[in-house]
Amino acid sequence: MGPFEEQTGCKVNVKTFGTSDEAVKLMQGGGWDVVSASGDASLRLIYGGNVQPINMDLVPNYADIFPDLKMKSHNSVNGVAYGVPHGRGANLLVWNKEKVGDTVDSWSVMFEPDSPAAGGVGPYDSPIYIADAAVYLMATQPDLGITDPYALDQTQFDAAINLLKQQKGLVSEYWNDYLKQIDAVNAGTMTAATSWQVIVNGFDPATIGSTKAKEGATGWSDTWMVAKDTPNLNCAYKWLDWIASPEINQQATAWFGEAPSNVKACDIDPEQCATYHANEPSYWENVYYWNTPTEVCLDGRTDVKCVPYSEWSKAWSELRS
């Protein structure tokens, strides 16, 4: 931040938040110029009129962003880009080797009633987890026809909710604070859970296994967005270019524990890119970045209505009650 302030003369105030819901609330409240938003917040911000499209000609470092991160459905609408990609990561499957087995490669340990992890399952405590159930259904119930876990029509959505209700019997805890997860996994009360690479890096690989499940996984790809009516547009664009530069992108993503978005960052720290699979497009092929479900189906279907995020929230709330 210091070097940025020196070089540009823009003064930076930072506010950290813990969940996408908090991010949306902060941007709706106003007073903030830029936000790093996950996909389950970005579309809410775009459609809510809280952020503006970005003129990428004014962000030189955008040219070096990995091609498979540009113009995705969570950071662009109708060919208009709304932000600069930051870091990305996949939601991994972690398990207790002693209680569940040495090698596990499928989400079935978290969903099937006869799983050795029954009673110790730890799903992520957020409505967006419904997409993880949808990813599992893509493999186990292909006749439902799910192609995008964030574009679920009522039938597909109900199937996902039913799967989650069945899962609830196997759950020990839903986690939203990663410190709680670390504590629970190490204590052995959570024997199979979704997790993030940054958390996994802290586990002992001899006792806790981790992998990207074969059915695919949800993940996140954060986007730096600019508030709609910001008075500090120049500084905002300067920030976007700064944070997307190879050195800063590498540092910021390494600190959080995710793959960088700038190709040149891998020249600076090849090990980070290897750990987080930054340079492997095949790894990301079955990773479905968090997105904000809307009534207009995100997979392009026009013959049905999809379930919007507000309904996901209500359904999750009801499921948890």
Partner 1 sequence: MSTATTATPPKGGFGYRHPRARLAALLAAPMAWLVVVYLGSLAALFLTAFWTVDGFTGALVRTFTFDNFVEVFTTPAYLQTMLRTLGIAIGVTILCLVIGVPVAFFMARVARARWQPLLVALILTPLWASYLVKVYAWRAMLSPEQGVIAWFLAPFGLDSPGFGEFSIILTLTYLWLPYMILPVYAGFTRLPSSMLDASADLGAKGWRTFRSVIVPIIFPTMVAGSIFTFSLSLGDYITAQIVGGKVIMLGNVVQQNYVTNLPFAAAFATIPVVIVLLYLAAVRRTGALEKL
Binding positions for partner 1, rule: CB under 8 A: 21-22, 24-25, 44, 47-49, 127, 168, 171-174, 176-177, 180, 183, 187-189, 294-296, 308-311, 313-314, 316-321
Q: How far is the CB of 13 from partner 1 (least distance, A)?
A: 22
CA angle at residue 100 from 94 to 101, to 5 degrees? 95
Residue 262 has φ and ψ, to the nearest 5°, of -95, 125
Q: Which is nearer to partner 1, 281 or 300 (CB)?
A: 300
Cα–Cα distance measured from residue 175 to residue 195, given in angstroms and rounded to the nearest whole number: 10
Cβ proximity to partner 1, 91 vs 167, nearer residue? 167
Of 46 and 65, nearer to partner 1 (C-beta) is: 46
CB of 26 to partner 1, least distance (A): 10
| Complex with partner 1: residue 108 or 167, whichever CB lies closer | 167
Report how far apart the first and last C-alpha atoms of the chain are (Å, whole number): 43
CA distance 76 to 213: 28
Q: How wide is the angle at C-alpha 270 spanned by C-alphas 266 and 274, nearest 5°? A: 100
Residue 47 or residue 237: which is nearer to partner 1 going by CB? 47
Q: Which is nearer to partner 1, 280 or 295 (CB)?
A: 295
Least gap, CB of 314 to partner 1 (angstroms): 7
Min dist. Cβ of residue 316 to partner 1 (A): 7
Quickly tell me which residue has 């990663």 as its tokens.
178
Smallest distance, Å, CB 199 to partner 1? Answer: 18
Least gap, CB of 319 to partner 1 (angstroms) = 8
Size of the chain, expressed as the number of residues it contains: 321
Q: Give the distance, in angstroms, between the CA of residue 309 and the centroid of all CA atoms in the same chain.
A: 15
Query: Which segments of the chain does DSSP mark as H helices, in order?
Result: 2-8, 20-29, 39-47, 97-100, 108-111, 130-140, 154-168, 178-187, 197-200, 233-243, 246-256, 265-268, 270-275, 309-320
CA distance 276 to 283: 10
Q: Which is nearer to partner 1, 145 or 169 (CB)?
A: 169
Comparing C-alpha atoms, which of 174, 173, 115, 167 is closest to residue 137?
167
The CB-of-110 to partner 1 minimum distance in angstroms stands at 14
